[in-house]
Amino acid sequence: MELKPVVPRLELFAHLIVNVATPLSIGKVMTGERRIIPITGGRVEGAKLRGEILPGGADWQIVAADGTALLEARYTIRTDDNALIYVRNIGVRHGPPEVLAAIARGEQVEPTKYYFRATPTFETGDKRYDWLNRVLAVCSGVRTREAVLLDFYAVT
- Evaluate whether residue 3 is within a structural domain: no
Which residue range forms the structural domain that includes residue 131?
10-155
- Structural domain tally of the chain? 1
- Evaluate whether residue 2 is within a structural domain: no
Q: Find the helix or strand (DSSP H, E) in which 68 lies.
A: none
Which CATH number covers residue 49? 2.40.160.20
- Evaluate whether residue 125 is within a structural domain: yes
Provide the pairing of β-strand 58-63 with 69-79: antiparallel
pLDDT tens profile 70-121: 999 999 999 999 999 999 999 999 999 999 999 989 899 999 999 999 999 9
Tell me phi and psi for residue 138, to 5 degrees.
-135, 160
Query: What is the model's pLDDT at position 30?
Result: 94
Q: Which residues are CB-neighbours of 148 under 8 A, at least 6 positions away?
A: 16, 17, 18, 20, 59, 73, 141, 142
- Evaluate whether residue 1 is within a structural domain: no
Q: How far apart are the first and last CA of the chain?
A: 23
Query: What is the model's pLDDT at position 42?
Result: 99
